[in-house]
Structures are given as structure tokens and as C-alpha cells.
Amino acid sequence: MRIGPAWEKVKSLTQEEDPAALASLRRNYCAGQVRHWGADEQKAAETLYRLLKQAGGAEAAGQSETLAPGTFWPHAADR
């Protein structure tokens, strides 16, 4: 995955000008790339959604009690 174009969009949002700070932000941004997204990760996201819903109700998670079918692109697994 090329990170350049994506980073350029994020970089402008940081409003940071210090080169060392930008280098640190980019390193950490790149470290957060999703390299695997399978059934276990989707189940964890569903659990997190339920916890968010319990803690914050509709204000935090909307009206749905569960993640909507189709939330996750079916071809994203093991990318």
C-alpha cells in the first residue's frame, strides 16, 4: 500500500510545521496501517460497537443496536 497520497492529506490536517514532529507523526500514522482484517477483527469491532452503545447510548452510537450488515467490505479480509 502506498502511503504517500494518504499521508499528504493527513499532513495538511495536522497544521504542524516542525519537520521532526511531522516525521514522528508520519511514522506513527504509517504504523497504524491495517494489514489484516478478518473475521476476528470484525467480531472485535462489533463488540466495541456494543460497548460504545451501552456506555453512550444513541448519542455515541446512533439508533442501531448492532453494526449494520454490509458495514465491512467482504473483500477486505486478509488484505
Looking at residue 60, what is its pLDDT?
82
Q: How far is CA 79 from CA 31, 40, 73, in A?
A: 16, 14, 11
50 neighbors 11 (Cβ within 8 angstroms): no
**Count of residues making up the chain:** 79
pLDDT > 70: percent of the chain: 90
- Which residues, 6 or more positions from 66, have their beta carbon under 8 angstroms from its beta carbon? 46, 49, 50
Q: What is the pLDDT of residue 43?
A: 92
pLDDT, tens digit, 9 for 90 and up, residues 7-45: 888 888 888 999 999 999 998 888 887 777 888 989 999
Are 25 and 14 a contacting pair, CB within 8 Å? yes
